[in-house]
């Protein structure tokens, strides 16, 4: 083989290696983003349950215009996607924290916080 052919083979190997490295990184970021979306969906679902509790009269087992006394249903505390807990519960607001099973960097897992008020649910991405 000529020197030019060897150079072309080495160049092709380098290009393929770079392409594989980039595709692995893109796959990882897509997996993290998907897991984050699932965590946001699950914490929003929990927020909807909290609002139902808030709006239900005390006589029917609800909060009667208060989040005090609401807890995450036991079957939803830990799922295949992550762990969920209430960071704080006040009369007018619940803060739900979801920690995913996917690690973002080092030992930091995916984490979101969902704030639930009587008429609004919004999420903040922690990691």
pLDDT tens profile 5-16? 999 999 999 999
The domain limits of the chain are 3-125
Where residue 117 falls among pLDDT bands split at 50, 70, 90?
very high
Beta bridge partners of 115: 95, 122
The answer to whether the CB of 110 falls within 8 A of the CB of 127 is: yes
For the segment 63-85, the average pLDDT, to the nearest whole number, is 92
Question: What is the pTM (predicted TM-score) of this model?
Answer: 0.81
Task: Map residue 83 onto helix, strand or coil.
Answer: strand
For the segment 68-88, the average pLDDT, to the nearest whole number, is 92
Q: What is the model's pLDDT at position 59? A: 93
Distance linking the first and last C-alpha atoms of the chain:
52
Q: What is the model's pLDDT at position 31? A: 82
Q: What is the model's pLDDT at position 1? A: 62
Here the tokens at position 88 are 């704080």
* Dihedral sign of CA atoms 75, 78, 82, 84 in order: positive
């Amino acid at each position: 083989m000529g020197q030019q052919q060897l150079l072309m083979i080495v160049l092709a190997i380098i290009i393929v290696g770079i392409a594989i490295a980039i595709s692995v990184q893109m796959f990882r970021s897509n997996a993290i983003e998907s897991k984050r979306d699932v965590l946001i969906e699950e914490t929003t679902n929990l927020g909807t349950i909290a609002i139902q509790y808030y709006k239900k009269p005390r006589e029917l087992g609800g909060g009667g215009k208060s989040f005090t006394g609401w807890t995450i249903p036991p079957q939803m505390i830990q799922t295949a996607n992550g762990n969920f807990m209430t960071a704080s519960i006040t009369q007018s607001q619940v803060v739900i924290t979801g920690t995913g099973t996917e690690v973002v960097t080092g030992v930091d897992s995916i984490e979101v916080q969902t704030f639930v008020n009587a008429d609004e649910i919004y999420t903040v991405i922690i990691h």
